[in-house]
Structure 1
Protein backbone atom coordinates (compact mmCIF):
# COMPACT_ATOMS: atom_id res chain seq x y z
CA UNK A 1 0.00 0.00 0.00
CA UNK A 2 1.21 3.48 -0.83
CA UNK A 3 0.88 6.19 1.79
CA UNK A 4 1.68 9.72 0.65
CA UNK A 5 3.05 12.07 3.28
CA UNK A 6 2.27 15.67 2.38
CA UNK A 7 2.27 19.17 3.86
CA UNK A 8 0.79 22.47 2.77
CA UNK A 9 -0.58 25.75 4.06
CA UNK A 10 -3.86 25.06 2.23
CA UNK A 11 -5.88 21.88 2.04
CA UNK A 12 -9.18 21.13 0.41
CA UNK A 13 -10.44 17.62 -0.32
CA UNK A 14 -10.97 18.61 -3.97
CA UNK A 15 -7.18 18.38 -4.54
CA UNK A 16 -7.64 14.61 -4.18
CA UNK A 17 -10.00 14.40 -7.15
CA UNK A 18 -7.17 13.59 -9.55
CA UNK A 19 -3.52 12.61 -9.50
CA UNK A 20 -2.68 15.78 -11.46
CA UNK A 21 -4.38 18.00 -8.88
CA UNK A 22 -2.67 16.11 -6.05
CA UNK A 23 0.81 16.51 -7.59
CA UNK A 24 0.19 20.19 -8.37
CA UNK A 25 -0.89 20.89 -4.80
CA UNK A 26 1.77 18.75 -3.06
CA UNK A 27 4.89 18.93 -5.26
CA UNK A 28 7.20 17.55 -2.55
CA UNK A 29 4.95 14.65 -1.47
CA UNK A 30 6.75 11.56 -0.25
CA UNK A 31 5.39 8.07 -0.85
CA UNK A 32 6.02 5.36 1.72
CA UNK A 33 5.23 1.74 0.87
CA UNK A 34 3.82 -0.19 3.80
CA UNK A 35 2.19 -3.61 4.04
CA UNK A 36 -0.98 -2.32 5.73
CA UNK A 37 -2.45 0.28 8.06
CA UNK A 38 -1.02 -1.56 11.08
CA UNK A 39 2.46 -0.73 9.83
CA UNK A 40 1.37 2.87 9.40
CA UNK A 41 0.18 2.87 13.01
CA UNK A 42 3.55 1.51 14.16
CA UNK A 43 5.42 4.11 12.11
CA UNK A 44 3.35 6.93 13.58
CA UNK A 45 3.87 5.61 17.10
CA UNK A 46 7.64 5.65 16.53
CA UNK A 47 7.21 9.27 15.40
CA UNK A 48 5.45 9.97 18.74
CA UNK A 49 2.11 10.52 17.00
CA UNK A 50 -0.35 8.48 18.96
CA UNK A 51 -3.72 10.04 18.19
CA UNK A 52 -4.80 9.75 14.59
CA UNK A 53 -8.07 8.97 12.90
CA UNK A 54 -8.46 7.88 9.32
CA UNK A 55 -11.10 9.54 7.18
CA UNK A 56 -12.59 7.48 4.34
CA UNK A 57 -12.70 9.06 0.89
CA UNK A 58 -15.10 8.29 -1.93
CA UNK A 59 -12.42 8.63 -4.55
CA UNK A 60 -10.95 6.24 -7.09
CA UNK A 61 -7.34 7.39 -6.64
CA UNK A 62 -7.23 7.91 -2.89
CA UNK A 63 -9.22 5.97 -0.33
CA UNK A 64 -8.35 7.47 3.05
CA UNK A 65 -6.47 10.27 4.74
CA UNK A 66 -5.10 11.08 8.18
CA UNK A 67 -4.72 14.66 9.37
CA UNK A 68 -1.59 14.98 11.51
CA UNK A 69 -1.69 18.78 11.64
CA UNK A 70 -1.91 18.81 15.44
CA UNK A 71 1.47 17.07 15.60
CA UNK A 72 4.97 17.96 14.53
CA UNK A 73 6.99 15.46 12.53
CA UNK A 74 10.26 14.42 14.15
CA UNK A 75 13.18 16.65 13.17
CA UNK A 76 16.10 14.24 13.20
CA UNK A 77 19.82 14.68 12.71
CA UNK A 78 21.83 11.84 11.13
CA UNK A 79 22.33 9.90 14.36
CA UNK A 80 18.73 10.37 15.49
CA UNK A 81 17.47 9.21 12.09
CA UNK A 82 19.69 6.13 12.19
CA UNK A 83 18.35 5.28 15.66
CA UNK A 84 14.77 5.87 14.48
CA UNK A 85 15.37 3.71 11.41
CA UNK A 86 16.91 0.89 13.49
CA UNK A 87 13.87 0.93 15.79
CA UNK A 88 11.58 0.86 12.76
CA UNK A 89 13.32 -2.15 11.21
CA UNK A 90 13.34 -4.08 14.49
CA UNK A 91 9.72 -3.36 15.44
CA UNK A 92 8.26 -3.76 11.93
CA UNK A 93 10.39 -6.79 10.94
CA UNK A 94 10.92 -5.12 7.58
CA UNK A 95 14.10 -5.75 5.63
CA UNK A 96 17.07 -3.52 6.36
CA UNK A 97 18.04 -2.33 2.89
CA UNK A 98 18.55 0.87 0.91
CA UNK A 99 14.95 0.84 -0.39
CA UNK A 100 13.60 0.73 3.15
CA UNK A 101 16.06 3.39 4.32
CA UNK A 102 15.15 5.61 1.36
CA UNK A 103 11.46 5.08 2.12
CA UNK A 104 11.81 7.14 5.31
CA UNK A 105 14.78 9.46 4.77
CA UNK A 106 12.44 12.34 3.88
CA UNK A 107 11.75 12.64 7.63
CA UNK A 108 15.27 13.93 8.04
CA UNK A 109 15.12 16.34 5.11
CA UNK A 110 11.55 17.66 5.07
CA UNK A 111 10.22 17.57 8.62
CA UNK A 112 11.57 20.99 9.56
CA UNK A 113 10.04 22.61 6.47
CA UNK A 114 6.76 20.73 6.80
CA UNK A 115 6.38 21.52 10.50
CA UNK A 116 6.13 25.22 9.57
CA UNK A 117 3.13 24.57 7.31
CA UNK A 118 -0.47 24.51 8.52
CA UNK A 119 -1.39 20.98 7.33
CA UNK A 120 0.48 17.68 7.61
CA UNK A 121 -1.39 14.73 6.14
CA UNK A 122 -1.04 11.14 5.04
CA UNK A 123 -3.08 10.17 2.00
CA UNK A 124 -3.57 6.50 1.12
CA UNK A 125 -3.64 5.51 -2.53
CA UNK A 126 -6.27 3.08 -3.81
CA UNK A 127 -8.24 0.74 -1.59
Structure 2
Protein backbone atom coordinates (compact mmCIF):
# COMPACT_ATOMS: atom_id res chain seq x y z
CA UNK A 1 0.00 0.00 0.00
CA UNK A 2 1.07 3.56 -0.64
CA UNK A 3 0.30 6.48 1.65
CA UNK A 4 -1.42 9.35 -0.16
CA UNK A 5 -1.31 12.82 1.40
CA UNK A 6 -3.88 15.37 0.29
CA UNK A 7 -4.84 18.88 1.27
CA UNK A 8 -8.63 18.73 1.61
CA UNK A 9 -11.23 21.26 2.71
CA UNK A 10 -13.17 20.50 5.87
CA UNK A 11 -16.46 22.24 6.67
CA UNK A 12 -18.62 23.03 9.66
CA UNK A 13 -22.00 21.31 9.79
CA UNK A 14 -25.04 22.18 11.86
CA UNK A 15 -26.00 19.00 13.71
CA UNK A 16 -28.61 18.12 16.33
CA UNK A 17 -25.99 18.46 19.07
CA UNK A 18 -24.42 21.63 17.71
CA UNK A 19 -21.79 22.43 15.12
CA UNK A 20 -19.13 19.91 14.13
CA UNK A 21 -16.36 19.82 11.55
CA UNK A 22 -16.06 17.05 8.95
CA UNK A 23 -14.53 16.36 5.53
CA UNK A 24 -16.98 15.55 2.70
CA UNK A 25 -14.14 15.14 0.13
CA UNK A 26 -15.62 17.51 -2.46
CA UNK A 27 -12.20 17.67 -4.17
CA UNK A 28 -12.19 14.04 -5.34
CA UNK A 29 -12.38 13.49 -9.08
CA UNK A 30 -15.02 11.25 -10.65
CA UNK A 31 -12.33 8.55 -10.85
CA UNK A 32 -11.65 8.57 -7.12
CA UNK A 33 -13.53 7.32 -4.10
CA UNK A 34 -12.83 6.97 -0.38
CA UNK A 35 -13.37 3.84 1.69
CA UNK A 36 -14.60 4.67 5.18
CA UNK A 37 -13.76 2.13 7.89
CA UNK A 38 -15.77 2.44 11.09
CA UNK A 39 -16.98 5.83 9.76
CA UNK A 40 -13.42 7.17 9.37
CA UNK A 41 -11.78 7.84 5.95
CA UNK A 42 -9.16 5.12 5.54
CA UNK A 43 -8.39 4.11 1.95
CA UNK A 44 -8.36 5.73 -1.49
CA UNK A 45 -9.68 4.01 -4.62
CA UNK A 46 -8.02 5.55 -7.68
CA UNK A 47 -9.53 4.17 -10.88
CA UNK A 48 -6.76 5.85 -12.88
CA UNK A 49 -4.23 3.56 -11.21
CA UNK A 50 -4.53 0.83 -13.84
CA UNK A 51 -1.71 -1.32 -12.44
CA UNK A 52 -3.74 -2.02 -9.31
CA UNK A 53 -5.20 -5.53 -9.23
CA UNK A 54 -7.62 -4.23 -6.58
CA UNK A 55 -9.00 -1.65 -9.03
CA UNK A 56 -9.16 -4.26 -11.80
CA UNK A 57 -11.23 -6.55 -9.59
CA UNK A 58 -13.63 -3.74 -8.72
CA UNK A 59 -13.98 -2.73 -12.38
CA UNK A 60 -14.74 -6.31 -13.37
CA UNK A 61 -17.57 -6.50 -10.83
CA UNK A 62 -18.93 -3.11 -11.88
CA UNK A 63 -18.95 -4.21 -15.52
CA UNK A 64 -21.24 -7.04 -14.41
CA UNK A 65 -23.69 -4.52 -13.00
CA UNK A 66 -22.64 -4.47 -9.34
CA UNK A 67 -22.71 -1.08 -7.61
CA UNK A 68 -19.43 0.22 -6.11
CA UNK A 69 -20.99 0.60 -2.65
CA UNK A 70 -22.20 -3.01 -2.72
CA UNK A 71 -18.74 -4.22 -3.76
CA UNK A 72 -16.94 -2.32 -1.00
CA UNK A 73 -19.52 -3.29 1.60
CA UNK A 74 -19.11 -6.94 0.57
CA UNK A 75 -15.33 -6.72 0.85
CA UNK A 76 -15.74 -5.28 4.33
CA UNK A 77 -18.05 -8.12 5.38
CA UNK A 78 -15.50 -10.66 4.15
CA UNK A 79 -12.78 -8.89 6.17
CA UNK A 80 -14.94 -8.44 9.28
CA UNK A 81 -14.90 -4.65 8.88
CA UNK A 82 -17.45 -1.88 8.42
CA UNK A 83 -16.59 -0.58 4.93
CA UNK A 84 -18.58 1.96 2.94
CA UNK A 85 -17.94 4.59 0.27
CA UNK A 86 -20.54 6.93 1.79
CA UNK A 87 -19.77 9.42 4.53
CA UNK A 88 -22.20 9.72 7.43
CA UNK A 89 -22.65 13.50 7.25
CA UNK A 90 -26.40 14.15 7.22
CA UNK A 91 -26.41 17.72 8.56
CA UNK A 92 -26.45 21.04 6.71
CA UNK A 93 -23.13 22.52 5.65
CA UNK A 94 -22.44 26.01 7.05
CA UNK A 95 -21.59 28.47 4.27
CA UNK A 96 -17.99 29.79 4.08
CA UNK A 97 -16.82 27.53 6.94
CA UNK A 98 -14.14 25.67 5.01
CA UNK A 99 -10.57 25.29 6.18
CA UNK A 100 -7.68 23.31 4.71
CA UNK A 101 -6.78 20.01 6.36
CA UNK A 102 -3.95 17.58 5.66
CA UNK A 103 -5.39 14.09 5.22
CA UNK A 104 -3.49 10.82 4.85
CA UNK A 105 -5.17 7.92 3.06
CA UNK A 106 -3.75 4.61 1.89
CA UNK A 107 -4.09 3.45 -1.70
CA UNK A 108 -4.83 -0.27 -1.91
CA UNK A 109 -2.80 -1.75 -4.74
CA UNK A 110 -3.77 -5.39 -4.20
CA UNK A 111 -6.54 -6.96 -2.15
CA UNK A 112 -3.71 -8.76 -0.38
CA UNK A 113 -2.74 -5.43 1.21
CA UNK A 114 -5.76 -5.79 3.49
CA UNK A 115 -6.68 -9.50 3.38
CA UNK A 116 -4.93 -12.39 5.10
CA UNK A 117 -6.49 -15.81 5.49
CA UNK A 118 -5.25 -17.59 8.61
CA UNK A 119 -5.50 -21.35 9.05
CA UNK A 120 -4.45 -22.90 12.35
CA UNK A 121 -3.46 -26.58 12.00
CA UNK A 122 -2.96 -28.93 14.96
CA UNK A 123 -1.00 -32.07 14.13
CA UNK A 124 1.59 -34.55 15.36
CA UNK A 125 3.63 -34.49 12.14
CA UNK A 126 3.76 -32.54 8.91
CA UNK A 127 5.86 -31.58 5.91
CA UNK A 128 6.13 -27.99 4.76
CA UNK A 129 4.94 -29.07 1.34
CA UNK A 130 1.58 -30.02 2.91
CA UNK A 131 0.67 -26.34 3.18
CA UNK A 132 1.33 -25.12 -0.36
CA UNK A 133 -1.38 -26.83 -2.37
CA UNK A 134 -4.89 -26.04 -1.16
CA UNK A 135 -6.44 -29.39 -2.04
CA UNK A 136 -3.60 -31.37 -0.46
CA UNK A 137 -3.88 -29.29 2.71
CA UNK A 138 -7.57 -30.10 3.07
CA UNK A 139 -7.16 -33.74 2.10
CA UNK A 140 -4.59 -34.28 4.85
CA UNK A 141 -6.01 -32.18 7.69
CA UNK A 142 -9.76 -32.24 7.05
CA UNK A 143 -10.09 -35.14 9.45
CA UNK A 144 -12.78 -35.38 12.10
CA UNK A 145 -11.97 -36.59 15.59
CA UNK A 146 -14.34 -38.82 17.57
CA UNK A 147 -16.40 -35.77 18.55
CA UNK A 148 -16.75 -34.52 14.97
CA UNK A 149 -14.21 -31.67 15.20
CA UNK A 150 -11.60 -30.91 12.54
CA UNK A 151 -7.87 -30.44 13.03
CA UNK A 152 -7.87 -26.96 11.51
CA UNK A 153 -9.59 -23.63 12.12
CA UNK A 154 -9.63 -20.49 9.99
CA UNK A 155 -10.04 -16.73 10.24
CA UNK A 156 -9.76 -13.86 7.79
CA UNK A 157 -8.00 -10.79 9.13
CA UNK A 158 -7.27 -7.48 7.46
CA UNK A 159 -3.88 -5.89 8.00
CA UNK A 160 -0.69 -7.87 8.53
CA UNK A 161 0.00 -6.14 11.85
CA UNK A 162 -3.30 -7.51 13.16
CA UNK A 163 -1.90 -11.05 12.86
CA UNK A 164 0.64 -10.25 15.56
CA UNK A 165 -2.03 -8.51 17.65
CA UNK A 166 -4.29 -11.57 17.34
CA UNK A 167 -1.56 -13.95 18.53
CA UNK A 168 -0.66 -11.64 21.40
CA UNK A 169 -4.34 -11.48 22.40
CA UNK A 170 -4.89 -15.24 22.17
CA UNK A 171 -1.72 -16.19 24.06
CA UNK A 172 -1.30 -13.06 26.24
CA UNK A 173 2.38 -12.68 25.40
CA UNK A 174 4.68 -11.33 22.74
CA UNK A 175 6.59 -14.09 21.02
CA UNK A 176 9.32 -13.81 18.40
CA UNK A 177 8.10 -15.97 15.52
CA UNK A 178 10.08 -17.22 12.54
CA UNK A 179 8.29 -16.87 9.23
CA UNK A 180 8.87 -19.60 6.65
CA UNK A 181 7.97 -18.39 3.16
CA UNK A 182 6.47 -21.19 1.07
CA UNK A 183 5.46 -19.15 -1.98
CA UNK A 184 4.90 -15.55 -2.98
CA UNK A 185 1.60 -15.40 -1.07
CA UNK A 186 1.84 -18.22 1.49
CA UNK A 187 3.92 -18.50 4.64
CA UNK A 188 3.78 -20.55 7.84
CA UNK A 189 4.65 -19.93 11.49
CA UNK A 190 5.43 -22.65 14.03
CA UNK A 191 3.35 -21.90 17.16
CA UNK A 192 4.15 -25.20 18.89
CA UNK A 193 5.80 -23.44 21.84
CA UNK A 194 2.43 -21.80 22.57
CA UNK A 195 0.40 -25.02 22.81
CA UNK A 196 -1.66 -25.04 26.01
CA UNK A 197 -1.05 -21.34 26.71
CA UNK A 198 -4.09 -19.70 25.09
CA UNK A 199 -6.71 -17.72 26.97
CA UNK A 200 -9.90 -19.49 27.99
CA UNK A 201 -13.51 -18.57 27.23
CA UNK A 202 -13.88 -16.59 30.47
CA UNK A 203 -10.88 -14.45 29.55
CA UNK A 204 -12.35 -13.88 26.11
CA UNK A 205 -15.59 -12.66 27.65
CA UNK A 206 -13.69 -10.26 29.93
CA UNK A 207 -11.19 -8.99 27.34
CA UNK A 208 -13.17 -9.08 24.08
CA UNK A 209 -13.62 -5.29 23.98
CA UNK A 210 -9.84 -4.90 24.30
CA UNK A 211 -9.46 -6.93 21.11
CA UNK A 212 -11.95 -4.73 19.28
CA UNK A 213 -10.08 -1.62 20.41
CA UNK A 214 -6.56 -2.74 19.48
CA UNK A 215 -7.55 -4.36 16.17
CA UNK A 216 -10.11 -1.83 14.91
CA UNK A 217 -12.36 -4.69 13.82
CA UNK A 218 -16.15 -4.82 13.92
CA UNK A 219 -17.88 -5.64 17.18
CA UNK A 220 -20.20 -8.32 15.81
CA UNK A 221 -21.48 -11.75 16.73
CA UNK A 222 -19.43 -13.16 13.83
CA UNK A 223 -16.22 -11.68 15.24
CA UNK A 224 -16.94 -12.98 18.73
CA UNK A 225 -17.96 -16.37 17.35
CA UNK A 226 -14.74 -16.65 15.34
CA UNK A 227 -12.65 -16.04 18.46
CA UNK A 228 -14.79 -18.55 20.37
CA UNK A 229 -14.07 -21.11 17.66
CA UNK A 230 -10.33 -20.42 17.72
CA UNK A 231 -10.08 -20.72 21.51
CA UNK A 232 -12.15 -23.91 21.52
CA UNK A 233 -9.91 -25.33 18.79
CA UNK A 234 -6.74 -24.46 20.74
CA UNK A 235 -8.12 -26.01 23.94
CA UNK A 236 -9.21 -29.23 22.20
CA UNK A 237 -5.80 -29.66 20.59
CA UNK A 238 -3.60 -28.90 23.60
CA UNK A 239 -2.30 -32.48 23.42
CA UNK A 240 -0.96 -32.18 19.87
CA UNK A 241 2.77 -31.94 19.23
CA UNK A 242 2.65 -29.16 16.66
CA UNK A 243 0.57 -26.05 16.05
CA UNK A 244 1.12 -24.39 12.69
CA UNK A 245 -0.29 -21.11 11.43
CA UNK A 246 -0.65 -20.87 7.66
CA UNK A 247 -1.04 -17.32 6.33
CA UNK A 248 -2.20 -16.69 2.78
CA UNK A 249 -2.09 -13.18 1.42
CA UNK A 250 -5.35 -13.14 -0.57
CA UNK A 251 -5.18 -11.70 -4.07
CA UNK A 252 -8.88 -11.92 -4.90
CA UNK A 253 -11.90 -11.58 -2.65
CA UNK A 254 -14.50 -14.39 -2.85
CA UNK A 255 -17.37 -11.97 -2.38
CA UNK A 256 -20.91 -13.07 -3.16
CA UNK A 257 -23.11 -10.70 -5.14
CA UNK A 258 -26.75 -10.83 -6.15
CA UNK A 259 -27.25 -11.55 -9.82
CA UNK A 260 -29.11 -9.18 -12.12
CA UNK A 261 -32.41 -10.80 -11.21
CA UNK A 262 -31.77 -10.28 -7.51
CA UNK A 263 -33.03 -13.78 -6.67
CA UNK A 264 -29.97 -15.98 -6.30
CA UNK A 265 -26.28 -15.36 -5.68
CA UNK A 266 -23.19 -16.06 -7.74
CA UNK A 267 -19.70 -16.31 -6.24
CA UNK A 268 -17.12 -14.51 -8.35
CA UNK A 269 -13.59 -15.82 -8.88
CA UNK A 270 -14.62 -19.24 -7.58
CA UNK A 271 -11.66 -21.06 -9.09
CA UNK A 272 -9.26 -18.69 -7.35
CA UNK A 273 -10.82 -19.24 -3.93
CA UNK A 274 -11.32 -23.00 -3.61
CA UNK A 275 -9.88 -23.09 -0.11
CA UNK A 276 -12.25 -20.42 1.22
CA UNK A 277 -15.28 -22.17 -0.29
CA UNK A 278 -14.29 -25.55 1.13
CA UNK A 279 -13.52 -24.19 4.57
CA UNK A 280 -16.81 -22.31 4.67
CA UNK A 281 -18.61 -25.57 3.91
CA UNK A 282 -16.88 -27.27 6.83
CA UNK A 283 -18.27 -24.92 9.45
CA UNK A 284 -21.63 -24.05 7.92
Residue by residue, what CA displacement relative to the aligned partner does 1:24-69 show, whole Å, maximum 9, x if unpaired?
A: 222222111111220000111112242212111127xx61111000
1:103 deviates by: 2.1
Higher RCO, 1 vs 2 (CA within 8 Å, ≥6 residues apart): 1
CA contact (8 A) 2:124 2:240 kept: yes
Aligned equivalents of 1:104, 1:64: Cα separation in 2: 22
In the alignment, what sits opposite 1:100?
223
Q: Does 1:8 align with 2:123?
A: yes
In the alignment, what sits opposite 1:116?
239
In the alignment, what sits opposite 1:54?
179
Alignment partner of 1:105: what SS? helix
CA contact (8 A) 1:76 1:107 kept: no
Structure 2: where are the runs of 5+ without partners? 1-115, 143-149, 251-284
Task: Tell me the number of residue pairs that the alignment of Structure 1 and Structure 2 aligns.
Answer: 124
Q: CA RMSD in A?
A: 1.9
Relative distance call for 1:84 and 1:30 in structure 2 (3 A) is: farther
Structure 1: where are the runs of 5+ without partners? none
TM-score, with structure 1 as normaliser: 0.84
Which one has the largest radius of gyration?
A: 2
